[in-house]
Each structure stands twice: as C-alpha cells, then as structure tokens.
Amino acid sequence: MYEGVVQDLIAELGQLPGVGPKSAQRIAFHLLQADPVDVRRLADLLVEVKQRVKFCSICFNVSEEEQCRICRDPRRDPSVLCVVEEYKDVVAVERTREFRGRYHVLGGAISPIDGVGPEQLRIKELLSRLSDPVIVEIILATDPNLEGEATATYLTRQIAPLGVRVSKLASGLPVGGDLEYADEVTLGRAFAGRQSAT
Ligand SMILES: [Zn+2]
C-alpha cells in the first residue's frame, strides 16, 4: 500500500478494464517519473474526450458531431444496417472493408443474469429506424456467444414481421468470443457469407 494520492491513483487506474493491480502500480510510477508536460497532455486529453465525444443521434456510434462520420457519409449505402453490440464492433467491421452500409449500436446484449433486457438496449430506436422504407436489410453482427445469440434471436422475431430482410453473419467466427477480437479476414468472410436469419 502506498500513501495518499499515489494510492488513489493506483486505485483509479486499477478500475480500468484489463488493468490489474500490478499494471496499475507500474502505470502510476511511470506517471510519477514522466515529464510534467506529458502528464498534463494526457490529463487534458482525458477531460477533452469526455467533453467532446458523444453518441451519434441516429446510430449511437461515438461521434464528435450530432451525427457520426458514417451516418453523414453520402457514399454509404442507406439500405443496409449492420447491428452491433458496442461501438468498438463498428471499428472491427470497418476494418474488414466488406461492409458499405450503415450501423446501429445496441449498447450491449440481452443478458438476464446481468439484468439487461431488451428495454435497456437501443432496440426501440432500431425498430423506429426501420419505419424508413429505404432500409431493406438488417445484418445482425452480435457477438458469437450466448448473449449475442439471444439478442440476435430476439431481434429476428421483432424485425422479420416488418418485411425487412434479416441476415446473420456466417458461422466460422470463434464461438464464445467477442466480435472485436475476430481477425479481419475471418470477420470479412462471415460478412460475405451471411445467411438469412429467418
Ligand atoms: Zn451514426
């Protein structure tokens, strides 16, 4: 245990995902020894990112503007929506360069154990987007695990009656994993080989 602010810093850093107590200590001591100018820049950036970055009002991707870069891009196909759990999955799908449509970020997956039901996700918002007749296909790209599958099944039941084509990524993604960790070749293939979910 360290004293005062150093201990506070270690405790805060330890709250970050993937940072265990040892790493928290290492980062804290790195910051203590670093040039004050560099530390200041990092601190300012942390504050700035929270002030400037918000969520796209259409798809809920992260954005510095009211609408994200993808929703604003007229070259993106408005007829196909790719539904993902988190905005980091948008990055994963973008990396494959297989997808030229637009997105909808749910903000998680249905997980009764964690108390996450459909009403906690941006499903209502998705369904209201589907009232736009320009959208003809939904690609469900939830994580290949239990929660992701449950979410995809739920969404298929909700969307199919609306007359919109629903497809799912082809199998081949590592089961139990997280979309963002799939390599881009595998994810790209899963996209190209997508199958009807109904
Ligand atoms: Zn957007």
d(CA 187, CA 183): 6
| Distance from Cα 128 to the centre of ligand 1, integer Å | 15
| Distance from Cα 10 to the centre of ligand 1, integer Å | 36
Structure confidence by residue, pLDDT tens digits, 93-116: 999 888 999 999 999 999 988 889
Q: What is the four-CA torsion angle of 120, 151, 176, 137, rounded to 10 degrees?
A: -120
- DSSP of 129-198: HTTSTT--EEEE---SSHHHHHHHHHHHHHHGGGT-EEEEPPS-SPTTS-GGGS-HHHHHHHHHT-EE--
Of residues 155, 149, 101, 153, the one with CA closest to residue 123: 155
User: What pLDDT shows up at residue 33?
Assistant: 95
Burial level of 10, CB count in 10 A (0-12/13-18/19+)? buried
| Distance from Cα 94 to the centre of ligand 1, integer Å | 13
Burial level of 60, CB count in 10 A (0-12/13-18/19+)? buried
| Distance from Cα 17 to the centre of ligand 1, integer Å | 25
Structure confidence by residue, pLDDT tens digits, 127-183: 999 999 999 999 999 998 889 999 999 999 999 899 899 998 876 666 666 777 777
Phi, then psi, of 169 in degrees rounded to 5: -60, 145
Averaged pLDDT score across all residues of the chain: 91
| Distance from Cα 63 to the centre of ligand 1, integer Å | 7
Q: How far is CA 183 from the centre of its chain?
A: 16
137-140 and 80-84: which strand pairing? parallel
User: Can you give the pTM of this predicted structure?
Assistant: 0.77
